[in-house]
């Protein structure tokens, strides 16, 4: 009965005519009622059938009579069921199916909004937005180490760590509600064409995360002198709470139009002053002087380094993370394969533009340059300069031997298949 009702709602039902029982009307052109629709009356003259009249066939000269069997369509086609009130009802199953689909889609969206981790090793902050903690003074954000953020030894690179520091700093300003129309600038800074530039960065890495690890980054700001700001970071393993990286930096303001350093206006200080934390740097400051390298004191020199378009940020200067990659361009290959960067101190002296051509210089201190792979802790000095000699960055890096299992991974070169 349900199938009959569903069919009746989609297709017209053919109702037999009152005189359908007569033999002569089965194949005649008389009027029929097609499911309540009136058909145009056609007489038998409207349909003319031409029959080929032939003589009866003969077999051996004798005529043979042939019998013509009439095809009875009533024996082939099933007779339609009588039209009743039940089979004229609409097919409510289609409407119910549509309503069910809508409710299932709404439930799925609600479950996504109300998503919560089911395992402790899952990302606590699935959308990577971060949040303000500790009475609004610290910003916290989680990052999952992606496959494209690791190196040959299956650990995150120093550039990945630095990108996490920069991303959390910008999201801190955004979440606090003081982000203007610039790259980390406040509304008052934007009015005065001021931007932040880093002058000093100090990083200490205790352990590098691996692919699939989730790290928790905490960052906060403090005053640095009269016109500067210090920003600190603390990176932990999200599952164990182990401290992975500590970093501290000093930032000053620069006029975006004149490209000159500027004092901090009182309006800007009022915007950000309430977020300053009165605390010591997260990492003890390395006060050792960064000496200048030249062609005579450098052990390794890499030339003809130039920024690409993708190396520029929205302030039209090279991102400070890119400088680290250029510095390591002149580091000896043997130390990159056998050691990992444990600490780094950088002094940014001037910005680099899109048309600049740079040189990277590295000097290895206290060890035999030809035997770096078997050395213990190694210290290097670095200089990034323009071709005309103008200094961009001075730096010092310290290296420790890689774990034994990581060294084995790097040295395993797959054999060529035959």
Which of 317, 319, 339, 380 does the annotation list as catalytic?
317
Structure-block tokens of residue 324: 């680290």
The residues near 91 (Cβ < 8 Å, ≥ 6 apart) are 5, 6, 9, 10
Dihedral sign, Cα of residue 349, residue 339, residue 399, residue 363: negative
Q: Are 383 and 391 in contact (CB under 8 A)?
A: yes
How far is Cα 41 from Cα 44, in angstroms, rounded to an integer? 10
Instruction: Provide the 10 A C-beta neighbour count for residue 376.
Output: 9
Q: Are 338 and 407 in contact (CB under 8 A)?
A: yes
Residue 382 sits at φ, ψ, to 5 deg, of -135, 155
How far is Cα 250 from Cα 233, in angstroms, rounded to an integer? 12
328 forms beta bridges with: none
Confirm whether 315 is a catalytic residue: yes
Helix (H, G, I), strand (E, B) or coil at 152: coil
Nearest to 375 by CA among 391, 364, 385: 364
DSSP one-letter code for 128: -
C-alpha neighbours within 13 Å on the C-beta side of residue 309: 0
Which of 25, 163, 227, 315 does the annotation list as catalytic?
315
Which of 171, 172, 238, 352 does the annotation list as catalytic?
352
Instruction: Provide the 10 A C-beta neighbour count for residue 199.
Output: 16
How far is Cα 118 from Cα 111, in angstroms, rounded to an integer? 13
Instruction: Provide the 10 A C-beta neighbour count for residue 216.
Output: 20
Q: Are 385 and 361 in contact (CB under 8 A)?
A: yes
Q: Are 211 and 147 in contact (CB under 8 A)?
A: yes
131 forms beta bridges with: 140
Confirm whether 352 is a catalytic residue: yes
CA angle 6, 10, 11 (to 5 degrees): 110
Query: CA dist 221 to 200, 347, 362, 402, Å?
Result: 14, 19, 32, 33
Structure-block tokens of residue 79: 């007779």
How far is Cα 247 from Cα 341, in angstroms, rounded to an integer? 14
Instruction: Provide the 10 A C-beta neighbour count for residue 111.
Output: 10
Active site residues: 315, 317, 352
């Amino acid at each position: 009965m349900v199938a009959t009702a569903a069919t009746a709602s989609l297709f017209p039902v053919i109702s037999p005519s009152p005189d359908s029982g007569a033999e002569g009307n089965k194949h005649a052109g008389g009027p029929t009622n097609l499911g309540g629709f009136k058909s145009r009356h056609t007489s038998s003259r409207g349909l003319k059938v031409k029959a080929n009249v032939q003589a009866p066939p003969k077999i051996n000269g004798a005529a043979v009579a042939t019998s013509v069997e009439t095809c009875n369509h009533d024996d082939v086609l099933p007779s339609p069921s009588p039209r009743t009130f039940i089979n004229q009802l609409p097919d409510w199953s289609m409407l119910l199916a549509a309503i069910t689909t809508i409710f299932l889609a709404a439930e799925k969206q609600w479950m996504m909004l109300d998503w919560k981790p089911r395992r402790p090793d899952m990302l606590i902050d699935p959308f990577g937005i971060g949040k303000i903690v500790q009475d609004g003074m610290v910003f916290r954000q989680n990052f999952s180490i992606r496959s494209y953020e690791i190196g040959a030894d299956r650990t995150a690179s120093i550039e990945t760590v630095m990108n996490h520091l920069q991303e959390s700093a910008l999201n801190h300003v955004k979440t606090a509600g003081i982000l203007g129309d610039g790259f980390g600038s406040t509304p008052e800074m934007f009015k005065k064409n001021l931007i932040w530039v880093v002058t000093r960065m100090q990083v200490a890495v205790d352990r590098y995360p691996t692919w699939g690890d989730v790290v928790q980054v905490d960052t906060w700001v403090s005053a640095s002198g009269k016109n500067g700001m210090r920003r600190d970071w603390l990176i932990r393993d999200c599952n164990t709470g182990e401290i992975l990286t500590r970093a501290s930096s000093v930032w000053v303001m620069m006029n975006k139009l004149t490209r000159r350093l500027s004092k901090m206006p009182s309006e800007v200080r009022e915007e950000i002053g309430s977020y300053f934390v009165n605390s010591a740097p997260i990492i003890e400051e390395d006060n050792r002087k960064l000496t200048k390298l030249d062609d005579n004191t450098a052990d390794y020199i890499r030339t003809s380094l130039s920024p690409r378009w993708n190396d520029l940020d929205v302030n039209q200067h090279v991102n400070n993370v890119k400088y680290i990659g250029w510095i390591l361009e002149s580091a000896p290959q043997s130390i990159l394969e056998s050691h990992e960067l444990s600490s780094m101190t950088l002094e940014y002296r001037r910005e680099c533009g899109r048309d600049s051509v740079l040189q990277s210089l590295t000097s290895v201190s206290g060890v035999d340059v030809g035997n770096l792979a078997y050395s213990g802790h190694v210290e290097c000095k670095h200089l990034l300069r323009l071709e005309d000699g103008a200094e961009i960055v001075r730096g010092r890096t310290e290296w420790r031997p890689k774990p034994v299992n990581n060294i084995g991974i790097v040295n395993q070169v797959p054999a060529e298949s035959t």
